Structure 1
Amino acid sequence: MLPYWIFFILPAVIALSSAPRINVRADGTIPVRIDSAWMFTILILTVVVGFRYEVGGDWGNYFRYLFGAMNLNFTDLVTVEDPGYWALNIISVRFGFGITGVNTLSALIFSTGLVVFCQSLPRPWVALACAMPYLVTVVAMGYTRQSIALGLVMIGLVMLSRRRLVAFAVWVLLGALFHKSAVLIIPIAGLSISKNRWLSLGIAAGATLVGYFVLLEDSADQLIQTYTDANIQSQGALIRLSMNLVPAVLFLIYRNRLVLAPSERKLWSLFSVIAIATFVAFFVTNLSTALDRMALYIIPLQLFVFSHIPDAFRKYRSRNQNITIWIILYYALAMFVWLNFANHSSYWLPYSIGIA
């Protein structure tokens, strides 16, 4: 367990000693600037996630892509599902890098997206510390394809917060090349950008239809069967949905105390409503696996809210260390519970690094 605690404690310590960023763009958002420290962070995350060995619940399942890629060419990508992930496997096979090569390329994409998203927040190190217990440890090291999609979606969300709708759609569709479920995030754009309710619904419906016909039509039945089968129950779904619920409620209560760009306020209010809706749906539907997987795309809400929430109680953009300490302790508790009591945490223990 010690490596996981080290991965969490390092950004947590930096978060407690770092001042929040106070410079903003003309539209009220925070500029993204990847300096040498954050480039090094991307490198470390890529190595930690990419060079893991026999770590993660789906470790063995991904070898079928690697073995399958031995008989594929890049021209075959138009005939397969999730062509982005197949492309990574083809590249790794061509260069003889094995599953480690695939995982490292996947980790690089995810880590870049995570760092870009953290850098768009006032307390990027707080956001990174919040990401370590679940987003990095469980998702990036367990759900490889969906973690890539989520990394690209996070870049898209930064674009959307700046009202760059086309850029958002491009990044999300790129993510959908690695895991088709990413396309489900597209309707959020229409709902968060437009001031006209009917126009918002029209944009959302249009984007959903485009995403469906381009990416999901051929495999929609398979996805629905996979994620809604009554016999499939996602272990720990309620806990993960609850982790999204906490920041959602906090944001809706205190959002008027936070200094945010109007586009950010509307976007993350929508995310908060969705987080609450998925939590409620857990108790009134039999879709725990579907809700659990969709909840992965709501995780950025946690990073956004906890990077901003200290400003709701103290002087704007001051360190507010007391509140930051409570946030760090909350995520330390989440990591402790997951490592010691989660049904499948044994697949992550012990953490080992190697080449396969």
Structure 2
Amino acid sequence: MIYVAVFGAMILLRWALEGNAELRRGFYWALLFALFLFSAFRFEVGCDWTGYLNQYFVYRSRSPDELLDESEPLWVGLFMLLRSLGLSYPWINVLSSGVFFLGIHALCRRQIDPLACLIFLFPILYINMPMSGIRQGAAIGIMCLAYCAFSDRAPARFIAWVLVASAIHSSALVFLLLAPLVEGNYSRSRLFLAALLAVPGGLALMSTESAQVADSRYIDTGIDAVGAIFRVGALALSAAYFFIVLEKKWMKRFPGDFKLAAIGALMMVATLAVLPVSSVIADRVAYYLIPIQAAIFARIPFFSWRVDRELHTAFPYALLFALFVAWTMLGSHFEQCYIPYQSWLLGFPEGTRLSAP
């Protein structure tokens, strides 16, 4: 299968460039651009292709005054932008992929090994988001900018980016609860204080229209996210590895962004607790945490290992490759949504109607 082969080739590439940081940086830019083209110019690929096509015909006719009535005005605004530019529906994938990769690049370029960070995002986040769930994919790109602001201890910038992300996908609002933790050092006492402050904040978010819609759609409705237990479980396993193996090493080696990694890992565990209540909500939040997981995995080779360095380095690749192979082989919808891969980069098939009259 093309997707497994591509991921396998990425892993082999990273292994071949183990001792050459300069070449890894060069291949990072090439891979970043190739993945952008692969998602931005896909044609009738992705589980949500038809759903966003319907949105295109509905939202492109909205007036600017109506944006204020929308819970996610920036997303609706993108369709209106297509109308003003006279562009057909597939261009929404170009715009959303651009936003996704802008944020991903902002986060990955801060890593010692940006190439590894990018590779770790491919099997779960990349396939499910810019290749399908493009609205949340764009929001995740913006949230990566918020993560950078979190590491920079810039609360105003962090809050601003979270609000921008929530104007694309309202689920991003949950990350406003992290605002009290942006400044100051990480400690159990500050985390406990933030948890107390999160109670009224969480209640406020639960009272919003978006939260009420989520409650009516996803809690006690029988609607489940297929594969959520595996994706959320992989995040929880990653978090356990961080706290058991990496926490002390990270605090000493990378104190500047230790807080983001630690709180991200805590949230990964929290999504596991949400899973029995609603697999869909747990899955939604989990996707936002995969960039932090990728950043954690990308740092593993750069710690001091007395023994088993190769084993620790191989762990995340083996975990994600096994998960990806299982999903592609056993997932009921993977073949329906992603195979065959088609692109409109060289033009649309004759007779295709993808724009409104």
Query: TM-score scaled by structure 2?
Result: 0.83
1:189 matches 2:179 = yes
Cα separation, partners in 2 of 1:63 and 1:338, compared to 1, 3 Å? same
Which residue in 2 is equivalent to 1:8?
7
Post-superposition offset of 1:230: 3.1
Deviations 1:245-294 (A, max 9, x none): 12101111121123444352222222212212322443xx3311111111
Distance 1:280 1:188 in 2: 18
Q: Which moved more, 1:150-159 or 1:43-52?
A: 43-52
Which residue in 2 is equivalent to 1:249?
240
The one of 122, 140, 143 aligned to 2:112: 122
Distance 1:90 1:108 in 2: 17
Amino acid at match of 1:271: G
Which residue in 1 is equivalent to 2:140?
150
The answer to whether the 8 A contact 2:59-2:79 is kept is: yes
The one of 23, 43, 47 aligned to 1:53: 43
The one of 257, 274, 278 aligned to 2:271: 278
1:338 matches 2:327 = yes
Post-superposition offset of 1:170: 1.1
Amino acid at match of 1:257: K
Which residue in 1 is equivalent to 2:73?
83
Post-superposition offset of 1:69: 2.7
Distance 2:199 2:262 in 1: 20
Distance 1:48 1:296 in 2: 20
The answer to whether the 8 A contact 1:56-1:141 is kept is: yes
Please list every run of 5 or more consecutive structure 2 residues that lacks an aligned counterpart in the other structure.
349-353
The answer to whether the 8 A contact 1:69-1:93 is kept is: no
Cα separation, partners in 2 of 1:264 and 1:226, compared to 1, 3 Å? same
1:193 match: secondary structure? coil
Post-superposition offset of 1:164: 1.2
Amino acid at match of 1:340: M
Deviations 1:284-334 (A, max 9, x none): x3311111111111212320221112234538xxxx666444433332222
The answer to whether the 8 A contact 1:50-1:104 is kept is: yes
Cα separation, partners in 2 of 1:8 and 1:321, compared to 1, 3 Å? same
Post-superposition offset of 1:40: 4.8
Please list every run of 5 or more consecutive structure 1 residues that lacks an aligned counterpart in the other structure.
23-34
User: Percent identity at matched positions?
Assistant: 24
Q: Which moved more, 1:5-14 or 1:166-175?
A: 5-14
Question: Residues 299-338 of structure 1 correspond to what in structure 2 (within 5 A)?
Answer: 299-312=290-303, 314=305, 323-338=312-327
